[in-house]
């Protein structure tokens, strides 16, 4: 898979956009504690909700999702004008996701990537995004475990991408994001195997 110079430039800009950690930005704007200082320590919407501010959690979720959407849609929209290839769009998808996981502006300590991955996949193909959202909702409704729903949904991402498009750059981008998301959830996976992962049912 060959990338052009515009592909790399677009990916670098996407990485910088992904590095905007909205959990930290929103918390600071609303005078809330740093999300890395309480709960799971994960700068994501679920942990921000533990601050007691539903508004902050919603804003974090929207921000983290939209940066994935914006990066990919801009790359697709500007592809012809600036010479961004299909492989370049896939590279942008991975780059904005990497920015969220390892943000250069926040010491490379980012979130687990569920919201940003969802935004990326919706922008790549709304059918993939909608399918994953349905799987997440079904698993969460039955098990009430957010991490399990995210893991199962992420495993389905490359399957949907291959089913709709075959072994194109989009499929490889989905595969890489799934691998990264599973890596970021390795502790959750260990707790799930041990039966120690908390559920919303148990917490309520």
Instruction: Summarize pLDDT for 84-104 with one digit per residue, the tens.
Output: 999 999 999 999 999 999 999
Predicted pLDDT at 204: 40
Judged against a pLDDT cut of 70, whether residue 39 lies above it is answered with yes
Predicted pLDDT at 200: 60
> Residue 71 in 3-state DSSP?
helix
**Spatial distance between the Cα atoms of 57 and 176, rounded to a whole number of angstroms:** 27
Band the pLDDT of 201: cuts 50, 70, 90. low
> Residue 60 in 3-state DSSP?
helix
Name the most confidently modeled range: 46-60, 137-151, 159-173. 159-173
- Which tokens belong to 141? 């409704």
**Spatial distance between the Cα atoms of 110 and 117, rounded to a whole number of angstroms:** 13
Judged against a pLDDT cut of 50, whether residue 203 lies above it is answered with no
Tell me the H-state helices in 78-125: 79-82, 86-101, 114-124
Mean predicted confidence (pLDDT) in 180-189: 91
């Amino acid at each position: 898979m060959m990338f052009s110079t515009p592909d790399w430039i677009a990916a670098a800009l996407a990485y910088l956009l992904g590095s905007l950690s909205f959990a930290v930005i929103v918390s600071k704007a609303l005078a809330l504690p740093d999300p890395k200082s309480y709960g799971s320590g994960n700068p994501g919407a679920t942990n921000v909700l533990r601050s007691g501010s539903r508004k902050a959690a919603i804003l974090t979720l929207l921000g983290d999702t939209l940066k994935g959407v914006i990066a990919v849609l801009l790359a697709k929209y500007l592809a012809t004008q600036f010479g961004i290839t299909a492989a370049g769009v896939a590279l942008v998808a991975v780059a904005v996701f990497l920015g969220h996981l390892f943000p250069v502006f926040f010491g490379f300590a980012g979130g687990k990537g569920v919201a940003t991955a969802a935004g990326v996949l919706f922008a790549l193909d709304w059918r993939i995004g909608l399918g994953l959202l349905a799987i997440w909702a079904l698993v969460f409704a039955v098990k009430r475990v957010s991490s399990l729903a995210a893991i199962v949904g992420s495993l389905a991402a490359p399957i949907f991408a291959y089913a709709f498009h075959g072994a194109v750059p989009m499929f490889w981008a989905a595969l890489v994001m799934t691998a990264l998301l599973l890596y970021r959830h390795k502790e959750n996976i260990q707790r799930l195997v041990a039966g120690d992962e908390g559920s919303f049912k148990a917490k309520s």
